[in-house]
Structures are given as structure tokens and as C-alpha cells.
């Protein structure tokens, strides 16, 4: 048995995506900047992918800037915007992905830095405090605001539109990292009222190595990478044509499949959480609006890392936190911000379901989890 329950970390490339990408590794290998036939062919493929990405979130193709990943896209907005704006306050939520949090922190660290960082508090369900936003704005007007649409650990969805309204009223540029949300819930650029949004291919059954920063046409950014002026001068470097093609196809699949997929996956999560409740599990963010595929839970007294290893041996791939933070083991900064007691936070395990999972797999997982948990409890009693 080999069951993958870690779709928030990454997803398998869809067959349709792989088929679309394949010709661009060999037969259609041209450089999109070349003017001969092979180059023109590659440029058309990139342009088509740009249209597919744009269509999936309701923007114009010119607003889509391709990058190598979500981390680069987030950095491009934060550092690129800071390069044009007068230094002010930058506001991010306390539960942001490290590539947002650290990029924001760097703005305050240079010798001549005048940026001031404020981390928005969240409640015990992981929802951003609008009151804290109002108080932060009273202290100092922000120039930049970045709040993720959905958290990668808990799956909790933020009211980005409400935060955007407040940010715009202050004259600030508003960005949302929608990497985890896109493909799991409907995402529309205009409805969220943001100036910029980050998307990534490998979370939606596309390839690693392709992502996008989607920007309002009035937003000016300073490039992170200088060179030949690719991507409207914002991201120089020869485009990763196969990955970009795959990203475009994956976005098309999102648009056609999301309604049915989200409903089916949500039913499996309900099945999972009913079983976890019977085991006495604590589910983080349970009563908040969450992504339909994500369950972040703890069995008190059983360390999450230990549980993940034992479940992997039993044939189930789950996570003890965010994959992008695994190089820095320790307590989840998300759970810490939510006020979760440190001993309970150490027990956290994340299950993130995907389109290939089945109710039978969920049932088998619950049986395996119960068996592993009972065994670990017996071992703990013997040790004591």
C-alpha cells in the first residue's frame, strides 16, 4: 500500500499536463526569444499558456509574469514593490509562508532601511484580526500588505477581500499568496480586489519550476533579475517553456474540474475528521472556513514527527508541518501564532487530500493511525 496524503506539499503531474509538455523538451525545443520558426513556435506556446493562466483567474494575459516558483513570485512583489515605493510600514499576517515573512523582514534589515514590519495577529482558529490591522494602520500608514488566501498548514481561508479594502483605503498595495488556495477553491483576481497575486503550478497537478506573479497593470516593480528583459522586463532569463506549457494546461484543468473535485474531496475530509474525533484528536482551525482538502490535527501525547514516520512505514505519506519549512525543524510558527500550547503543537500532523484519493484509502488510514497510536501509547507506558 502506498497512499499519498500530502497534496499541499506537491502534486503528481496530470497525464494531460505531461502529454502537453513532452514535445517541448525535444521536438519543439526552440528559445522563445529566437526569431526563426522554432523560436516562434515556442513563443506561441508561452503566449497560449499565459492566456490559460490569465483566464483561470479572470485577468488579462499581460498581467501574468512567469517565475520559477511561488517563492520567487512572492519575493518579486515584496522586494520589487519596495524598490519603487517610499519606505513605510509593511504588514503581513503572522501565519504567512516563510518566503513572504522573510522577504518582508529583510526590508527592515539593511543599513538604510526605513521599512517597519508589522505581523498581523490571528485568533485561535488562525484567522487574521481585522482589529489588529486597524490598530497597526493608526500607528503608521502601510505601503505594502501581504496576506495569504489560504494557509498551507491549517487550510484556513482568510477574508482577503475585506483586508484589501482596508489596505486600499490606506493607499497601500495589496498582495495575496494564493498558491495553496488556487485549484482547491474558486479564485478570482478582481473579486479579491488585490494589486498582486501569486500562483504555482506544482500545487495544481502541474510541474515544479513554473509559477506566476499576477499584477495590476498600474503596479510598478523593480526586477530581482536583470538581463534580456524577458517577462515585460520584470523577470529576465530564457523561459522554461515545457514547465510554462504544463502550467497553462493545469490551469485549464482547474477551471473544468474544481467544482466536482472540491465536493468529492470535502466529503472525504468529513469522513476523516469524524474518525479522528472518535480517537480524541484535536483539529486545528476546525470551525473556521478551510480548504476542502486540508486537515491539521494532533493526537495529544504523540509527537507528530514520530507519527509521520510510523505512518510512512504503514504506507501513508502525510506531513508534520509545511514541506517548505522542513529544513528548520521545530514548532510550527502558524500554531504558535494561534496560541496553541507547545506540547500539543509538537503533536501536529497534516493530511492534505487530492483528486486521486478515495474513501477506502481514508478508511484504511484511520485504521492504520489507530493501530500506530495504540502501539506508541503502549511503548510510552512501558518507558514510564
Q: Is 324 annotated as catalytic?
A: yes
Q: Is 208 left (phi over 0), alpha (psi -120 to 50) or beta?
A: beta
From residue 323, alpha-carbon distances to 7, 351, 362 in Å are 10, 12, 21
- 3-class DSSP state for residue 265? helix
Strand 282-283 to strand 294-298: parallel, antiparallel, or no bridges (unpaired)? antiparallel
Can you tell me the distance from the alpha carbon of 182 to that of 194, in angstroms, rounded to the nearest whole number?
A: 15
Pull the grid cell for residue 84: 519603487
DSSP 29: -
- Cα radius of gyration (the chain): 22
From residue 129, alpha-carbon distances to 125, 163, 172, 294 in Å are 11, 10, 18, 22
Catalytic-role residue among 99, 170, 251, 324: 324
Q: Which among 317, 254, 284 is positioned nearest to 156, based on CA atoms?
A: 284
- 3-class DSSP state for residue 64? strand
Query: Beta-carbon neighbour count of residue 367 at 10 Å?
Result: 12
Query: What DSSP line would sit under 93-131, residue for residue?
Result: ETT--HHHHHHHHHTTTSTT---EEEEEPB-TTS-B-HH
Q: Which residues are catalytic?
A: 324
Amino acid at each position: 500500500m502506498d497512499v499519498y496524503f500530502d497534496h499541499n506539499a506537491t502534486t503528481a503531474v496530470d497525464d494531460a499536463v505531461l502529454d502537453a509538455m513532452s514535445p517541448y523538451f525535444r521536438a519543439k525545443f526552440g528559445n522563445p526569444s529566437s526569431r526563426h520558426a522554432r523560436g516562434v513556435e515556442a513563443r506561441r506556446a508561452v503566449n497560449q499558456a499565459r492566456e490559460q493562466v490569465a483566464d483561470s483567474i479572470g485577468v488579462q494575459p499581460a498581467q501574468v509574469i512567469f517565475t520559477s516558483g511561488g517563492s520567487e513570485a512572492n519575493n518579486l512583489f515584496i522586494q520589487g514593490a519596495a524598490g519603487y515605493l517610499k519606505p513605510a510600514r509593511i504588514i503581513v499576517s503572522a501565519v504567512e509562508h516563510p518566503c513572504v515573512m522573510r522577504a518582508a523582514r529583510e526590508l527592515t534589515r539593511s543599513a538604510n532601511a526605513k521599512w517597519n514590519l508589522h505581523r498581523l495577529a490571528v485568533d485561535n482558529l488562525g484567522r487574521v484580526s481585522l482589529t489588529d490591522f486597524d490598530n497597526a494602520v493608526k500607528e503608521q500608514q502601510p505601503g505594502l500588505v501581504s496576506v495569504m488566501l489560504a494557509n498551507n498548514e491549517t487550510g484556513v481561508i482568510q477574508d482577503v477581500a475585506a483586508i484589501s479594502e482596508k489596505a486600499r483605503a490606506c493607499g497601500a498595495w495589496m498582495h495575496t499568496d494564493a498558491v495553496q488556495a488556487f485549484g482547491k477553491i474558486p479564485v478570482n483576481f478582481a473579486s479579491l480586489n488585490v494589486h498582486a497575486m501569486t500562483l504555482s503550478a506544482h500545487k495544481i497537478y502541474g510541474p515544479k519550476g513554473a509559477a506566476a506573479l499576477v499584477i495590476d497593470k498600474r503596479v510598478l516593480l523593480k526586477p530581482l533579475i536583470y538581463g534580456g528583459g524577458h517577462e515585460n522586463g520584470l523577470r529576465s532569463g530564457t523561459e522554461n517553456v515545457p514547465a510554462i506549457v504544463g502550467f497553462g494546461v493545469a490551469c485549464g484543468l482547474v477551471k473544468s474540474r474544481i467544482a466536482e473535485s472540491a465536493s468529492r474531496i470535502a466529503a472525504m475530509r468529513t469522513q476523516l475528521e469524524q474518525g479522528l474525533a472518535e480517537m480524541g484528536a484535536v483539529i486545528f482551525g476546525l470551525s473556521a472556513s478551510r480548504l476542502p482538502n486540508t486537515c491539521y490535527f494532533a493526537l495529544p501525547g504523540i509527537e507528530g514527527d514520530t507519527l509521520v514516520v510510523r505512518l510512512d512505514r504503514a504506507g501513508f505519506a502525510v506531513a508534520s508541518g509545511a514541506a517548505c519549512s522542513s529544513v528548520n525543524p521545530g514548532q510550527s510558527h502558524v500554531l504558535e501564532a494561534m496560541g496553541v500550547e507547545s506540547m500539543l503543537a509538537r503533536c501536529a500532523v497534516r493530511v492534505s487530500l487530492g483528486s486521486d484519493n478515495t474513501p477506502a484509502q481514508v478508511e484504511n488510514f484511520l485504521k492504520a493511525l489507530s493501530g500506530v497510536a495504540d502501539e506508541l501509547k503502549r511503548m510510552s507506558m512501558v518507558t514510564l
